[in-house]
Structure 1
Amino acid sequence: MADNDLKIFISWSGELAKAVTREIRTWLPKLFDRIDPWMSDIDIQAGTRGLQLIEDRLNNSSFGIIVVTTENQHKTWLNFEAGALSKRFEGGSGRVVPILVNFDDFYQIEGPIRQFQGVMLDKDGMRELLQSITNIAGSDWPMIEARFEWSWKDFEKAIEVARAEAGPQPKAPDVTESDLLQEILARLNSIEKRGLERPSSARESRERYGNTDTIIDILSTVGIGDVSSFELGTSSTGMTVEVSCNTMPEPKQAAAARKLASREGYSMTFLHEPTGHGSSPS
């Protein structure tokens, strides 16, 4: 691997996560030309100082994947690596994406990993993960998407084999309506607090302009998920975001999203454009 390849750190704990991580690590280089995915079980050779190598890889990675199962979500080592990745990318352009292996919903996640925007281990979730990697790596999304469609069936079969070989897993925790409401309110409060911190300089304004995670948080909070792309811009009145949707959101969802976007300093519009062009959501 070349020094300028995108280095991806994949964190795991437990037999199911280990097997899934191996498949992901093998699969990603088939889709991207210039990436270097790494997991400790494969890449640490006998006789080396494992902890030092893990630390070195953490410090030199620009993207993090956390493979989360019902077995490992409370494991100390997994949460330690998640915290280290979060600190590594704080204020930068890197991203951390949890992959939920045997959960029905992201709200079933407990503990520190909930701070990240996760994806399910299914076709839609993996497409979203690849879009995130594409944005960080600067790759050509149509090419990556074509490779994704070509390779998906084989990858899906490999994951099913990994699930079967790992055996029975703990049941995902039940989530009540009260739990969901508290989580939504907490995310809304977080977005509102960020919206109060207005840029105080041109540099801060540019940093805010490029923060696509803010838009993703807004859309996720109000339950708008069928988005093909969005494009950030500016107008005479401030910053804008144009969201292209495969399926248009409900009027109440769109109104809530516009309100939250306004607090962040954006004017948000929605377009029904199944093949829309723009910046794919990361």
Structure 2
Amino acid sequence: MLKDLFYKLNKKVNEPTKKGTYKDSEPVMTKCPQCKSLLYTKELVSNVHVCPKCEYHFPITSDERLDALFDKNSKKLLFTNITSKNPLNFPNYVSKLENDKRRTGLNEALRVAHGEIDGHEVVIAVMDTRVRMGSMGSAVGEMLAQAFNYATDHRLPVIVFTASGGARMQEGILSLMQMAKVSVAIERHSSHGLLYVAYMTHPTTGGVSASFASVGDINLAESGALIGFAGRRVIEETIKEKLPKDFQTAEFLIEHGQLDKVVDRTEMRSVLAQILRLHS
């Protein structure tokens, strides 16, 4: 026991970087950026990357979220071959995309999978901020549209976890078009009487918050998530007023009737399982 303690203390303490990744792939200890507590990484992982001391929600990858949700061995990835091009010949865009692909193993800022939660079949799409800050380009829009069309054809509910800086500026109007494209696929899915749960995580902003993130049959958000269209500074300069400190947080939105429920990540699977059971 004493030997294990010294081993842990001598290991590098893990701290999140600005991009939400980690300095060491397998640290023994992780430092919470909010309460500064030192946490055993294994315990943090078992708690779905939520600090047990202050309930700070660490950033997690799309695969980590899918694995935390789906029943064991039920996950089937979809549309993994879709990736962005460079339609506007934007400088350095291709090299930055390739770097993100190498670093993350993802072709785009979205994972889509078909699987089961507590025995209930569902299609889940999870945005991943490690690729171009989860921005919505033509490939992300295509994957989402195909996810809803796939769910419609198989008569399945859809859950979309949003995390994005908004539309991808390197693709210009083609990026903005995805707002309408995905909305059409959602409407087709809805017209067949099928369930769509929009689940907003940190951060959900810009064109994503103004389109498919806000039109679920049930709108949920993760605790502490930043949700909004324009930034705080832009709004304050426009209306010439100081905004509340908790403005654009999930907790602010639930108080003002813009969400159905704020869900702690540790309750994410049980809440979604109950929703699927009630709507099956």
TM-score by length of 2: 0.29
* TM-score normalised over the length of structure 1: 0.29
More helix by share: 1
Structure with larger RCO (C-alpha < 8 A, sep 6+): 1
